[in-house]
């Protein structure tokens, strides 16, 4: 299966090697120190100016994959410093989740206008004429922008008839919908953790692989090796992630080969949520008790509301997210089970670490991290046995993986079980779009609406932990929704939602 970029290839190699050490090593400290040399075995660098820089970056990736923080730039610290604390069979997490690897950051210019070689030194000199600060002159027969005078207005770019002036934005900063990324004293990207909602879009956008989140695969594997009853709760966005021929039965077979005891669909938790939120909409929003209701399944969206629109936080649905609803339902049947949420989302790692949830979701890993575990075990999923899968979820729950799918599922439930109720739906995808919708809601422009927010453009299928392009993932999910035997969940699931909500 073709990867999306060299950056994702390098990340996967790190996850693979860390998972291999977790499964096989009798001397993890020593073997973890060797990983950068396994990833960059030659003396000639492939991607950087120095092999030493490549190994430095790989070393930091190993630490993040262990759940550890980055090492200080000005002190001698071993790769495995602190590894004794993370070498456990429990969730291990040192905040913050998203981190910039200083040695990997290329100090990209942020909001800078530059003249390319397309400049023809035309007679009009429109760029010079429109510049309000006199920042443009002709140097060596080409227009030249003096960055010390430029005020970033962009008038020169608009005026150029040859499109010879480019605007350079730092990719990570451009991708951040909450404006949490700035520059440090050295021109490297810096994440403001007070603003960050851990959506991970900056990580996806960085072409140098300088931003990464922390993984729990090492600790998860320790729990498996310990003999714990580890079960997988798999998000609906997994369909197609490991190839068009890899069916749910083959994925289950692969997870069992990794040491999982059983596999559950998180879409069942989505079914619980959508019928419950349909009930709330009809009884609270339609009656005017609440002006509007926000869905709660996307943690980045929910945190955005709480951080930047705190006066609207009470309008976020109190229904359990699909991940938590599924975990709680598993714990009812298997109280000793260790529940592992496997999905596309980095922000779920923080959601699962909240005190009200911690006892139900034991680990969170992404599809990308799971791929590393498969590689460490040498599994070819297409060749695996097709194991039987219990199909309990509906098309509505599975559709949560795509932007608009949550609102659509709720609307279908309302139309079926509360006929005659007028339904007003609004959905936003990407944090910039989410902020616009929240501003409208705050201004009273969306009263009577069920409002769905997704932190990633495209929804969960575009999460930072996915493997295939979002547009392909969307097609796979839509096909799965279409093939589902049941369209919407039964109304009796309201009772299950109530029971799960009451669990302490």
Q: Is 365 within 8 Å of 467 (Cβ atoms)?
A: no
Where does the pLDDT of residue 494 fall: very low under 50, low under 70, confident under 90, or very high at 90 and above? confident
Where does the pLDDT of residue 393 fall: very low under 50, low under 70, confident under 90, or very high at 90 and above? very high
Query: What is the structure's pLDDT at 472?
Result: 96
Please spell the DSSP secondary structure of 189-253, one letter per residue. Answer: EEE-TTT-----HHHHH-TT--EE----HHHHHHHHHHT--EEEEE-GGGTTTT-TT--HHHHHH
Q: What is the mean pLDDT of residues 281-286?
A: 95
pLDDT of residue 304 exceeding 70: yes
pLDDT of residue 1 exceeding 70: no
Q: What is the mean pLDDT of residues 410-419?
A: 95
Which residue shows structure tokens 């990997």? 104
3-state secondary structure of 114: strand
Nearby residues of 71 by Cβ (< 8 Å), 6 or more positions away: 59, 60, 63, 77, 79, 81
Query: What is the structure's pLDDT at 171?
Result: 96
3-state secondary structure of 7: helix
Six token digits for residue 497: 């939602």
The pTM (predicted TM-score) of the whole model is 0.94
Six token digits for residue 38: 């396994």
pLDDT of residue 359 exceeding 80: no
* Distance in angstroms (rounded) separating the CA atoms of residues 340 and 349: 11
pLDDT of residue 504 exceeding 80: no
pLDDT of residue 2 exceeding 70: no
Phi-psi region of 236 (alpha: psi -120 to 50; beta: other; left: phi over 0): alpha
pLDDT of residue 421 exceeding 90: yes
Q: What is the mean pLDDT of residues 214-219?
A: 97
* Distance in angstroms (rounded) separating the CA atoms of residues 370 and 358: 21
Question: What's the whole-number average pLDDT of the chain?
Answer: 95
Phi, psi at 264, each rounded to 5°:
-125, 150
Q: What is the mean pLDDT of residues 419-440?
A: 96
Q: What is the mean pLDDT of residues 370-376?
A: 98
Kindly list the domain boundaries of the chain, sorted by start residue: 6-106+176-218, 112-168, 219-491
Q: What is the mean pLDDT of residues 105-117?
A: 93
Query: What is the structure's pLDDT at 434?
Result: 97
Q: What is the mean pLDDT of residues 187-211?
A: 96
What Cα–Cα distance (Å) separates residue 432 from each residue in 16, 112, 198, 442?
A: 34, 21, 14, 15
Tens digits of residue pLDDT in 58-71: 999 999 999 999 99
Q: What is the mean pLDDT of residues 134-143?
A: 96
pLDDT of residue 121 exceeding 90: yes
Which H/E stretch holds residue 129?
helix 126-130
Where does the pLDDT of residue 357 fall: very low under 50, low under 70, confident under 90, or very high at 90 and above? confident
Q: What is the mean pLDDT of residues 26-31?
A: 93
Query: What is the structure's pLDDT at 356?
Result: 73
Q: Is 108 within 8 Å of 181 (Cβ atoms)?
A: no
Query: What is the structure's pLDDT at 61?
Result: 97
Which residue shows structure tokens 């443009």? 136
Q: What is the mean pLDDT of residues 372-382?
A: 97
- Portion of the chain with pLDDT greater than 70, in percent: 99
Where does the pLDDT of residue 459 fall: very low under 50, low under 70, confident under 90, or very high at 90 and above? very high
Q: What is the mean pLDDT of residues 196-212?
A: 96
Write down the architecture of domain 112-168 according to CATH.
Answer: 2-Layer Sandwich (3.30)
Q: What is the mean pLDDT of residues 75-91?
A: 92
């Amino acid at each position: 299966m073709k990867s999306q970029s060299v950056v994702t290839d390098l990340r996967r190699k790190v996850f693979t090697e860390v998972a291999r050490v977790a499964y096989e090593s009798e001397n993890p400290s020593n073997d973890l120190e060797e990983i950068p040399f396994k990833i960059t075995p030659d003396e000639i660098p492939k991607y950087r100016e120095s092999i030493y820089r490549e190994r430095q970056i790989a070393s930091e990736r190993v630490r993040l994959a262990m759940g550890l923080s980055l090492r200080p730039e000005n002190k001698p610290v071993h790769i495995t410093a602190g590894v004794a604390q993370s070498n456990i069979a429990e969730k291990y997490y040192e905040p913050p989740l998203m981190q910039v690897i200083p040695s990997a950051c290329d100090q990209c210019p942020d909001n800078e206008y530059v003249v390319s070689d397309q400049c023809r030194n035309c007679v009009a000199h429109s760029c010079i004429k429109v510049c309000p600060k006199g920042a443009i002159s002709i140097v060596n027969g080409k227009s030249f922008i003096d960055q010390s005078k430029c005020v970033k207005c962009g008038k020169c770019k608009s005026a150029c008839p040859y499109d010879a002036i480019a605007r350079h934005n730092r990719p990570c900063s451009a991708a951040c919908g909450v404006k949490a990324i700035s520059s440090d004293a050295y021109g490297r990207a810096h994440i403001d953790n007070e603003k960050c909602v851990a959506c991970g879009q900056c990580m996806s956008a960085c072409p140098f692989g300088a931003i990464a989140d922390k993984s729990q695969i090492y600790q998860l594997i320790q729990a498996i090796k310990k003999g714990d009853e580890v079960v997988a709760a798999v998000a609906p966005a997994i369909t197609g992630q490991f190839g068009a021929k890899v069916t749910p039965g083959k994925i289950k077979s692969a997870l069992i080969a990794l040491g999982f005891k059983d596999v559950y669909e998180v879409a069942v938790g989505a079914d619980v949520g959508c019928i419950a939120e349909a009930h709330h909409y009809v009884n609270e929003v339609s009656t005017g008790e609440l002006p509007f209701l926000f869905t709660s399944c996307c943690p980045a969206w929910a945190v955005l509301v709480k951080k930047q629109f705190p006066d609207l936080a009470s309008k976020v649905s109190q229904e359990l997210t699909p991940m938590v609803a599924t975990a709680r339902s598993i714990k009812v049947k298997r109280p000793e089970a260790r529940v592992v949420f496997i999905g596309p989302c980095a922000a779920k790692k923080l959601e699962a670490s909240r005190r009200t949830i911690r006892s139900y979701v034991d680990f969170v890993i992404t599809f990308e991290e799971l791929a590393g575990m498969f590689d460490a075990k040498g599994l070819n999923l297409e060749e695996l046995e097709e194991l039987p899968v219990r199909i309990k979820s509906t098309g509505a729950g599975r559709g949560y993986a795509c932007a608009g799918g949550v609102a659509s599922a709720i609307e279908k439930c309302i139309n079926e079980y509360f006929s005659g109720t007028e339904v007003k739906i609004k959905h936003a995808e990407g944090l910039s779009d989410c902020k616009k919708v929240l501003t409208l809601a705050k201004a009273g422009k969306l009263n009577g609406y069920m409002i769905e927010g997704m932190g990633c453009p495209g929804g969960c299928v575009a999460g930072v932990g996915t493997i295939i392009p979002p547009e392909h993932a969307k097609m796979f999910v839509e096909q799965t929704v279409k093939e589902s035997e049941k369209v919407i969940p039964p109304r009796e699931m309201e009772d299950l939602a109530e029971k799960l909500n009451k669990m302490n």
